[in-house]
Amino acid sequence: MKYKKLKNSELSRKSIQDFKSSLKTPLIIVLDNIRSLNNIGSVFRTSDAFLIEEVLLCGITGTPPHKDIQKTALGSTESVIWKYYKSTVDSLIYLKNKRVKIYAIEQTFNSISLKDFKIDSDLKYAFVLGNEINGVSQEVINLCEGVIEVPQIGTKHSLNIAVCNGIITWDFFQKLKR
What does the pLDDT read at residue 19? Answer: 86
Q: What crossing angle do the helices spanning 37-49 and 161-177 adopt, rounded to 10°? A: 10
Domains, the chain, in order of start with CATH, read 18-177 (3.40.1280.10)
Give residue 27's pLDDT: 98
Q: Is the dihedral of CA 13, 168, 21, 55 positive or negative?
A: negative
Q: Do the bridges between strand 101-105 and strand 112-113 make them parallel or antiparallel, or are there none, so unpaired?
A: unpaired
Q: Could you read off the pLDDT of 140-176 as tens digits, one per residue?
A: 999 999 999 999 988 888 899 999 999 999 999 999 9
With cut-offs at 50, 70 and 90, classify the pLDDT of residue 178: confident
Work out whether strand 25-32 and strand 82-85 pair parallel, antiparallel, or are unpaired: unpaired
Residue 8 pLDDT more than 90? no
C-alpha triplet 167, 169, 174: angle, nearest 5°: 95
Burial 11-40 (b: 16+ CB within 10 A, else e): eeeeeeeebeeeebbbbbbbbbbbebbebb
pTM of structure: 0.94
Q: Tell me how far apart the alpha carbons of residues 16 and 81 are, in angstroms, rounded to a whole number.
A: 11
